[in-house]
Amino acid sequence: MSGAAGPGPGPPAGPGRSPLPCAPRPAAALQLGGGAEPARPGVAVIDLRFPRGAAADVQEIVFRNFYTAFLSVRVQRPGPTGSRRWVTCLRDYCLMPCPHTEEGSQDYFSLRRHQMLCDMDQVTAVRFILRQPSPVWLHFTIEELQIFPPGQKSPQKDFPSWLSQLTPPEQPASLHGVGSVGTIAIVPGSPGGTSHPATPLPEPRAIQPIRAISAPQHRAHFFQELPDPEKVSTEVQQMWVLTEVIRARQAAARIGRFDVDGCYDINLLSYT
Amino acid sequence: MLDPDSGLSLTIARIVQRLKGSSLHSQLERQARVSLHKPEIKLESLKEDIKDFLKTSGWEKKLQNAVYSELNVFPSPCHPAAPPEHMKEPLAYMRKAQGSWEKRILKSLNSMCTELSIPLAQKRPVNEQKELLNKWNEMGTDEPDLSLFRPVYAPKDFLEVLMNLRNPNYENGEQPSFRSHLGLIQVPLKVKDIPELKEDFSELGLNIGQLGIDDSAQVPPEFFENEHVRVGQKVLAEQDSAAAQQYVRQGCPTALRADLWALILNISNQPEDILYYEQLKSNVIQHDLLVDSLIYKDVKLTASNDDYYFVFEDYLYQVLLCFSRDTSVLEHFTYSSATPPKSYIRGKLGMEEYAVFYPPNGVIPFHGFSMYVAPLCFLYHEPSKLYQIFREMYVRFFFRLHSISSHPSGIVSLCLLFETLLQTHLPQLFYHLREIGAQPLRISFKWMVRAFSGYLATDQLLLLWDRILGYNSLEILAVLAAAVFAFRAVNLMEVTSLAAAEAVLADLSTLKVMPLLQIFLFATVT
């Protein structure tokens, strides 16, 4: 379950990433002691603990801002002596460059491990200190808080497959040994990019020599009239490569049809 | 937000994906394949040799221009956790306001339909198709009865909506305090002040030559004009979009303007583009849309009555009718806060496979829409090229002038920028106008919504649009509006009513745009 510190559902986790379960308490504004009516101090705190006192390593914190200007983050983790202590890992991170105006007020932010001042291992609790010095805003908080542990790489699906192919050099018809028949780099995965704007750039996979599905050497001697199995498998692989290329080459250009089967008779507009 | 590395790779991935299916991609491949026959391409260094060949033959430059165009048009990628509506408009209350405004427009269009008993779209009967095809080049001679049609909305209706825009999380108290705005716009968007504008528009400075100032009759052309024209010809020879964009910040020589704008907007008028335009033309002939009558009415009311633009009436129909059928315009809705109106084929209400957008390009024209096209008719005479230039200008700039968004070039930010500039630098004038009930934005709104088209003389307007292209931003419209008020401040201080203030500012056709901008930005004592 993803933590939500305010109204609104949490966003879906990215492919292959699941947030750590946690239960943040809603933002509590700091109060000056002894005040009769509640003032608006401009500072609020969100405390977040992992269930059952578990400790976790933190890779990334993702949230949506709601009119918070500056954010500080403290984590509770075991110190050098072994006992748990609070350490500041982010100090006065600016979310809204100009706190009186809307810039950055409802944007999504990521805080990564390498931006933090301290180590983010074995964290038992996280405290977010929100500051909004401008008095023009009625409420401020952060929402859709999600904490991600390290080590989850998004699996390589949904990238457009591209292939670099060199035609394999003509091998002499050696039926001895199962040599590699040229090098063809194949990038597995479903081809054809979706129109998702956040498709990551595909990393070229290691070039793997494709071994021919060849018969063992001794059998080839007996079946010399049959086509060379290595040659056939190369051609089959080339054809497969070509079909992959064509499938990946889905044109992004639209065809431009706005009608449905030649018919574009419309009476009224729909409101939904 | 996004740290620079992941932001960069997301941008690269997006641009690669967008360019992959384009005709440029297949042309590059064809060129690469053709180059294999050349002797200098060797098998051992195939990749490098082909790259060098593409560089020397100018194809790499075309690719660079395409990438630059994509970077200019699309905003930087959002955080991966952000939903698509966040890219359209990050602020929730603005999305809501845009949604209600669109609903009002839909209701208005639907009620017009039911009153006049005309369907929104229908197939044209064959004899009508033939007739339209015959008089395609002279549609202006048609005099259909448009008296029952009325524009869906006018800029002043839109201004009323913007005035009522409120952030529910902002303290909009009843008493005026430091947090309430004195102008009409009450949302706290970030706008630039004059020091920031000076830095952004540094090429308009006093010590830098400008067309519109330093090419006047009194200045010998050797000082600036000749050299500037020479540089412009060189930029055109190099065919470099980014260099052209930098160049036009100082203005375009008239002879080079058409080509330079096409270079900046990356329009090359290939055979497939001409074919695409012909396809749109056939769509116009086949289907009759209610929106066509709205376009006719708008052209007859605005451009045909204008001394400069009435000669281009036929061109305007040819461009705007095709524009309504162009589904490629739907792509701009990913980064616009607006949503295209939806409808269903007659008799198939609610069935998703019969859901269509109406009009096919998703843009409902309003009163004055044809004025976006009219100035371009001075530059381009071939209908398909004129069409492409207009379409590109619309999906880059003009759509921001009639949708509610927090973008710095959106109309809300422009209005706030205008009011803030006026209030900060001409406080007496601002106070006086406010006291007599003539809020300055009521007068300048219509100028900004139309990007000053129809209000300035054409040569001045084109100099202004040079800078819009050069800086890839519409903020210059707000600065010019404030500069016009500053120029006529003395007369405005003496008026006592809104009508009198409108009269002082009714005729802008004698104004020279560049001196006004330069004085307001760089020569006013702050």
Max avg pLDDT among A199-203, A227-231, B305-309, B508-512: B508-512
| Cα gap A74→A126, rounded to integer Å | 6
> Under an 8 A CB cutoff, do B170 and A138 touch?
yes
Lowest pLDDT segment from A6-15, B240-249, B289-298: A6-15
Q: For residue A24, give the H/E element and its range.
A: strand A23-24
More confident site: B305 or A247: B305
Question: Tell me, what DSSP letter sits at residue A8?
Answer: S
- B172 → chain A, closest CA residue: A136
Average pLDDT over chain B reads 90
Chains A and B form CB pairs within 8 A to the count of: 179
Contacts of B424 (CB under 8 A, 6+ apart): B193, B194
> Under an 8 A CB cutoff, do A199 and B13 touch?
yes
Q: Tell me the two tokens of residue B403.
A: 């949708």
Q: Tell me: the pLDDT tens digits for B149-185? A: 888 899 999 999 999 999 999 887 767 676 678 889 9
Lowest pLDDT segment from B107-111, B257-261, B272-276, B522-526: B522-526
Please report the pLDDT score of residue A32 as a whole number: 59
Please report the pLDDT score of residue A171 as a whole number: 43
Lowest pLDDT segment from A2-16, B12-26, B252-266, B448-462: A2-16
Q: Where are the alpha helices (DSSP H) in B117-142?
A: 126-134
| Cα gap B224→A207, rounded to integer Å | 58
For residue B21, the Cα-to-chain-centroid distance in whole angstroms is 26
| Cα gap B19→B169, rounded to integer Å | 41
Amino acid in the structure at residue A153? K
Query: Is pLDDT of B471 > 80?
Result: yes
Query: Is pLDDT of B141 > 50?
Result: yes
3-class secondary structure per residue, B230-254: HHHHHHHHHCCHHHHHHHHHHCCCH
Max avg pLDDT among A169-183, B254-268, B301-315: B254-268
The residue among B84, B114, B70 whose CA lies nearest residue B335 is B84
Query: Is pLDDT of A153 > 80?
Result: no
Please report the pLDDT score of residue A8 as a whole number: 37
| Cα gap B163→A115, rounded to integer Å | 42
* Residue percentage of chain B with pLDDT more than 90: 61
| Cα gap B479→B245, rounded to integer Å | 20
Q: Which of A258, A260, A270 to mutate: most B Cβ within 10 Å?
A: A258
> Under an 8 A CB cutoff, do A160 and B17 touch?
yes
**Is B93 at the interface with chain A, CB within 8 A?**
no
The distance of A91 to chain B (nearest Cα, Å) reads 16
| Cα gap B263→B69, rounded to integer Å | 10
Q: Which of A106, A154, A170 to mutate: most B Cβ within 10 Å?
A: A106
Prediction pTM value = 0.83
> Under an 8 A CB cutoff, do A201 and B16 touch?
yes
Question: Tell me, what DSSP letter sits at residue A109?
Answer: E
Max avg pLDDT among A171-175, A224-228, B120-124, B415-419: B415-419
Q: For residue B449, give the H/E element and its range.
A: helix B440-449
Q: Tell me: the pLDDT tens digits for B439-466? A: 999 999 999 999 999 999 999 999 999 9
Please report the pLDDT score of residue A132 as a whole number: 93
Query: Is pLDDT of A208 > 60?
Result: no
Mean pLDDT of B313-329: 94
- A256 → chain B, closest CA residue: B327
Mean pLDDT of A62-91: 90
> Under an 8 A CB cutoff, do A108 and B81 touch?
yes
Query: Is pLDDT of A95 > 70?
Result: yes
Lowest pLDDT segment from A180-194, B298-312, B449-463: A180-194
Q: Of the candidates B91, B120, B327, which has its C-beta nearest A266's C-beta? A: B120
> Under an 8 A CB cutoff, do A271 and B12 touch?
no
Q: Which residue has the tokens 């020479």?
A: B230
* Residue percentage of chain B with pLDDT more than 70: 97
Contacts of A178 (CB under 8 A, 6+ apart): A211, A212, A214
CA A106 → CA A92, A130, A142, B86, B411, distances in Å?
18, 14, 9, 9, 20
| Cα gap B18→B215, rounded to integer Å | 41
Mean pLDDT of B133-154: 85
Query: Is pLDDT of A209 > 70?
Result: no
Q: Tell me the two tokens of residue B105.
A: 């427009």
Question: Tell me, what DSSP letter sits at residue B372?
Answer: G
Query: Is pLDDT of A202 > 70?
Result: no
More confident site: B482 or B176: B482
Q: Tell me the two tokens of residue B273.
A: 């583009």
Query: Is pLDDT of B101 > 80?
Result: yes
Q: Which of A71, A112, A115, A136 to mutate: most B Cβ within 10 Å?
A: A136
**Is B487 at the interface with chain A, CB within 8 A?**
no
Q: Tell me the two tokens of residue A4.
A: 């939500």
Q: Tell me: the pLDDT tens digits for B381-435? A: 999 999 999 999 999 999 999 999 999 999 999 999 999 999 999 999 999 999 9
Instruction: Give residue A248's pLDDT band: very low, low, confident or very high (50, 70, 90).
Output: low
The distance of B78 to chain A (nearest Cα, Å) reads 8
> Under an 8 A CB cutoff, do B346 and A62 touch?
no
Query: Is pLDDT of B46 > 50?
Result: yes
> Under an 8 A CB cutoff, do A258 and B356 touch?
yes
- A268 → chain B, closest CA residue: B110
More confident site: B6 or A87: A87
Please report the pLDDT score of residue A37 as a whole number: 58
**Is B105 at the interface with chain A, CB within 8 A?**
no
Query: Is pLDDT of A196 > 50?
Result: no
Residues of B in contact with A252 (CB under 8 A): 17-22
**Is B166 at the interface with chain A, CB within 8 A?**
no
Angle at alpha carbon of residue B258, lines to B254 and B261, rounded to 5° = 110
ipTM: 0.86
Mean pLDDT of B316-333: 94
Mean pLDDT of A32-43: 67
Strand partners, A74: A88, A127
Q: Tell me the two tokens of residue A45.
A: 């705190």
> Under an 8 A CB cutoff, do B169 and A139 touch?
yes
Please report the pLDDT score of residue A162 as a whole number: 39
Query: Is pLDDT of A199 > 60?
Result: no
Q: Strand, helix or coil at A15?
A: coil
Q: Tell me: the pLDDT tens digits for B182-225? A: 889 999 999 999 999 999 999 999 888 888 888 888 888 888 88
Please report the pLDDT score of residue A5 as a whole number: 38
> Under an 8 A CB cutoff, do A256 and B123 touch?
no
Residues of B in contact with A135 (CB under 8 A): 171, 179
Residues of B in contact with A4 (CB under 8 A): none
